Amino acid sequence: MNQAIAKAKLRRQFKALRAQQLPAVQDTIIQQVVNTIQGYLKAGNLRGHIGIYWPLSGEVDLRELKLNLKLPLALPVSGEDGSLSYHPWTLTPLRKDACMIPAPLGEAVLDADAIGLLLIPALAMDQRGIRLGYGGGFFDRFRSNLTWRKVPSLAVLPEACISTELLPRDSWDVPLDGWISERGVARVK
Ligand SMILES: Nc1nc2c(c(=O)[nH]1)N(C=O)[C@@H](CNc1ccc(C(=O)N[C@@H](CCC(=O)O)C(=O)O)cc1)CN2
Ligand SMILES: Nc1ncnc2c1ncn2[C@@H]1O[C@H](COP(=O)(O)OP(=O)(O)OP(=O)(O)O)[C@@H](O)[C@H]1O
């Protein structure tokens, strides 16, 4: 229970910090995301879709990648049962998912081997790749599946939200592979 209270407090703090930082760093973060994707492409390490997200307030808005990159993108769909799936982001109108976020509900579910990179929003991250989200557990539940865990997954957030101290870690927390901030990409060792 103490851990839940600690997480809730950190959520509030990092949410405020992220909102305060975002305007100044958002454009640079997007550029670093593009650089990172180009790095994967050059290395021949990217196939299939790139999973992004429909931004909530305070999250880096990556939607311009749909215009600027000629690569297929996917968006998450949340279910009432706490599940998450990724579907192609096409021209089909989006509809609200279980979290009321616009999502490609009418498109087929993508398998892990159809996604080469997942870009994930976060309130905060620590050096181990432990991520703090809104508390729904969607990404932890999703990445508890070993097949999905193999898909490179990077958080996208301002550098100020990389916690200098380790974040509280619960048994279900699955670390991400790294993050992209205005300083570029960092991978967890
Ligand atoms: N853009 C985006 N999509 C996502 C997530 C996310 O964090 N960001 N999720 C990650 O798990 C899942 C949805 N989970 C969510 C869980 C809780 C809240 C939530 O409590 N939202 C706040 C207000 C958000 C805001 O500031 O606009 C609320 O309703 O009070 C939102 C999404 C899947 N899709
Ligand atoms: N693999 C899992 N199976 C079942 N429940 C899970 C799993 N992973 C996480 N949960 C549940 O999700 C809830 C929230 O987890 P946590 O506090 O770590 O959220 P978060 O990672 O910050 O949020 P989110 O992933 O939605 O952004 C917890 O109550 C936890 O029990």
Ligand 2 centroid to 34 CA: how many Å? 29
Ligand 2 centroid to 1 CA: how many Å? 14
What DSSP letter does each residue of 41-85 carry, written as one string? HHTT---SEEE--PPPTTS---TTHHHH--S-EEEEEE-TTS-EE
Q: Are 19 and 58 in contact (CB under 8 A)?
A: yes
Position 2 scores a pLDDT of 87
Instruction: Indicate the pLDDT class of residue 1, thresholds 50, 70 and 90.
Output: low
Q: For a pocket test of ligand 1, which of 56, 94, 140 has the largest count of ligand atoms closer than 8 A to its C-beta? A: 56
- ipTM score above 0.85: yes
In CATH terms, the superfamily for domain 3-182 is NagB/RpiA/CoA transferase-like (3.40.50.10420)
Ligand 1 contact, 134 CB (< 6 A): yes
Q: What is the pLDDT of residues 136-177, one digit of tens each?
A: 999 999 999 999 999 999 999 999 999 999 999 999 999 999
